[in-house]
Structure 1
Amino acid sequence: MSNDELNKLLTMAAEDVRPSHPAIAAWNRARRVRRNRRAAAATALAVVLLVGGTALALRPADPPVPAAPATAGPVVPSAPPVQRPPAELTYPGDPLGRLGDPVAAKLSDRPVRQALALYQPVDPNTGVEGRIRVLGDDGLVRDLDVVTPARTRDAAGNEAVPLKTGSLSPDGRQAAFAQTDEVIVVDLTTAQVRRHPLRGYLEHALWIGDRLFVGDDDTTYELDRTTGTARTVPLSPWDLVTLEPDARADALLAVGGTSGRLTLTRWTQRNGVSELGTQPVDVRALPRGNQVDEFYGRGWQRGDKVARAGWITTGSAGGLEGVALLNAGTGLVTRLLDLGRDRWKGCCEVLGWKSDGTVLVRHDPGGLIRWRPETGEVTGVVRGVYGEVSLAAG
């Protein structure tokens, strides 16, 4: 074979041979791909950082991380706005359960450190009342032997027993009894008695903190027990609400009115200027057909809530005994306790609040119950206590 033929043959064979150094060529190709990918990734990262950084700068700061994980509390059931007691009450025990115990001492012999309650028995068959008793925080029942208040009476001659729901001071150390043309104040820790003359057929005595208010149908007085002087207050003693002990001293509240026109009235005094404001009691938070028809008894406030007994309508039934819970600022009724009918008229007067947020209510015939509006729980406190009761705050 000639040289020309050999060169021609080699040239034709080399046309199908791949380039030399295939690993180097592949590496170069891969390097170009990685470089392109890194450039694209860097561009995307720059966009993300730019957008994320802007959003981070604009959004509010995150709340601080708690030092320890929160522990879930007990789940409180949502109570309905209209509540009813169970058919059978339970009696889990309460210091007030000794309210009906027999008298064990005289107040003059054994004054109290603090009274939990005052109790004046009334015979349910004859209506004749007994002597006023004092239940001390030691569980002992004493006879209020240092004074015998007379029945209260109005200008028409209507009479009532002298003990009222507001007679015992919130701290359980003083008792006050309205009388015609005077008010009697007893220091239960010393058994000392003071009489303060005030004009009128006085029927109500009630404490708001350490302030004493006394009144009749026409006039409400605030008595200065140190000087014996009194000033008048433009609120009815029937509707004046007993505030919690640490409530503001420059504001008084009254809840009352007639059927269909119930009102919440606030009287304030600041820098020597008095202001009287009235707003309607609002039942729109209750289901349709439920309302308060008329209030009775003493109203009691704790925090932003006022509890007061009244005659109520629930659904299609009217003339029921019940208790209303309303907001002290807005007058909005948020809860009703339906106690039914066929009870003594005015059976179910509110007697105050306990420190655990329960409302204490008379439950005639002869009982005292606790109502927890936030859960609807109703339990018994004491049975067989006929007559008038006044409780210390808490």
Structure 2
Amino acid sequence: MNEQDLRQLLIVSVEDVLPSQPATAGWERARRTRRTRRAVAAVAVAVALVGGGTVAALRSPADPPPAPPVGPTVTPTVDPSHAGPVQRPPAELTFPPDPLARLGDPATVPLSARPVQRALALFQPLDEENRADGPVRVLGDDGVVRSLDVVTLAPTRDAGGNEAPALKPGVLSPDGRWAAFAQTNELIMVDLTSAGVRRVPLDGYLELVVWANDRVLVGGDNRTYAVDRDDEAASTIDVSAWEVVAPDPEAGREAALIELGGEWGGLTLRSRTAREGTIRSEERITADALPSPYKVNEFYGRGWLHGERIASAAWITSSEIDGAEGVAVLDARTGAVTHLLDLGRERAKGCCPVLGWDNQGAVLLRLEPAGLARWNPETGEITGIVRDLRGAIALAS
């Protein structure tokens, strides 16, 4: 091999050897690449500016702007807690599953054969003349409907001979263990957990009952009795059986009793002592939070206390008519109406008495065509519970 051949061989052998400083070579290559990209980008921007300016100059003022890119539609989140003070039910109610939905089922067993641990509700069918059309049904928390076979109830009546079913809102104790029924000259108490019956003699035409802790307030002809559930001791108390609000079951025995009464211009909320019924305070009921011309004209049916709020059916002045049906929620401390459910002008008079509150802060009421409906004043949501249920209903709070 001569010298020229040896030189050629050495050149070939080192052609694939990497530089001794690869990092320095890499940075140099990267620097050249960045410089090249900046130059290309500068040219591209210049072209875009010139082209865009030319297009803008040539476009007619009447030309529409370019369409925005298509993307997913975002629906803004609505806070349901900001429902307005005046609300209306939907045109069509939904009926989600509910334990009370079995209230319209026929009884399958007598109470005497199978007492309840706790009753959710009582129901009695009524005929077209508003008279009892069968025995009282007892819906237990086990879902079984029983017939109240341990007592036969007569209609209540007043001195004028007017009659009404004995089953009314307020007769079922908040714990669902007792039922109390007003009868002429007596109070009947039924222990639903044992099917036992107690009869307490009392004078007068007694029509209305409401539970106040472990006592029963029962009255009618301008006289109200307070009857102790355990020892059956009875005394008169200076409250109106027609106007007294069903107390909150969470309140103690000595919690004040509240009455709603009067007519518009003189609607009042009175607080009375639990024992004697002595007036503690009296507040004028106001509707300043409602938009004009809404106001409450008169309350009807039983009012129900839940915490510091009272719910009661009422006749109202709405944006359409003076005398519409409605449900009012009031502040129990001040008498201010905070929410109003406007039920419109096409309903029967006295159609929609309130039957209590549930443990989620929703009002339970009668509503056509639903037999029973649930309204949440804070969210405005109203749903059906039982459909087309004709009869008298009493619920456990």
Structure-2-length-normalised TM-score: 0.77
| Structure 2 counterpart SS, 1:213 | strand
Closer, same or farther in 2 for the Cα pair 1:155/1:126, shift >3 Å?
closer
Partner residue, 1:238: 242
CA contact (8 A) 2:187 2:202 kept: yes
Closer, same or farther in 2 for the Cα pair 1:366/1:380, shift >3 Å?
closer
Partner residue, 1:40: none
CA contact (8 A) 2:173 2:211 kept: yes
CA contact (8 A) 1:107 1:143 kept: yes
Are 2:258 and 1:253 equivalent residues in the alignment?
yes
Are 2:238 and 1:205 equivalent residues in the alignment?
no
Pairs within 5 Å for 1:115-264: 115-124=119-128, 127-250=131-254, 251-264=256-269
Distance in 1 of aligned mates of 2:118 and 2:232: 24
CA contact (8 A) 1:165 1:390 kept: yes
Partner residue, 1:265: 270
Deviates more, 1:135-144 or 1:217-226: 217-226
Higher strand share: 1
Closer, same or farther in 2 for the Cα pair 1:311/1:126, shift >3 Å?
closer
Partner residue, 2:394: 390
| Structure 2 counterpart SS, 1:200 | coil
| Structure 1 counterpart SS, 2:181 | strand
Question: Shift in Å at residue 273 of structure 1?
Answer: 10
Question: Shift in Å at residue 268 of structure 1?
Answer: 2.0
Question: Shift in Å at residue 330 of structure 1?
Answer: 0.2
Question: Shift in Å at residue 333 of structure 1?
Answer: 0.2
Distance in 2 of aligned mates of 1:276 and 1:258: 21
Which stretches of structure 1, 4 residues or more, deviate above 6 A after TM superposition? Answer: none
> 1:204-238 CA distances to partner (integer Å, 9 max, x unpaired)?
11112222110113111111233332122221111
| Structure 1 counterpart SS, 2:202 | strand
Distance in 2 of aligned mates of 1:350 and 1:333: 16
Distance in 1 of aligned mates of 2:279 and 2:324: 35
The counterpart of 1:303, out of the listed 301, 307, 311, is 307
CA contact (8 A) 1:165 1:389 kept: yes
Distance in 2 of aligned mates of 1:213 and 1:169: 11
Amino acid at match of 2:336: L
Closer, same or farther in 2 for the Cα pair 1:122/1:81, shift >3 Å?
same
Question: Shift in Å at residue 80 of structure 1?
Answer: 0.8
Distance in 1 of aligned mates of 2:93 and 2:194: 38
Question: Shift in Å at residue 92 of structure 1?
Answer: 1.1
Identity, in percent, stands at 56
Residues matched between the structures, number: 320
CA contact (8 A) 1:112 1:136 kept: yes
RMSD: 1.9
Closer, same or farther in 2 for the Cα pair 1:198/1:150, shift >3 Å?
same
> 1:67-89 CA distances to partner (integer Å, 9 max, x unpaired)?
xxxxxx99434111110000010
Partner residue, 1:322: 326
Amino acid at match of 1:266: S
Closer, same or farther in 2 for the Cα pair 1:145/1:363, shift >3 Å?
same
Structure-1-length-normalised TM-score: 0.78
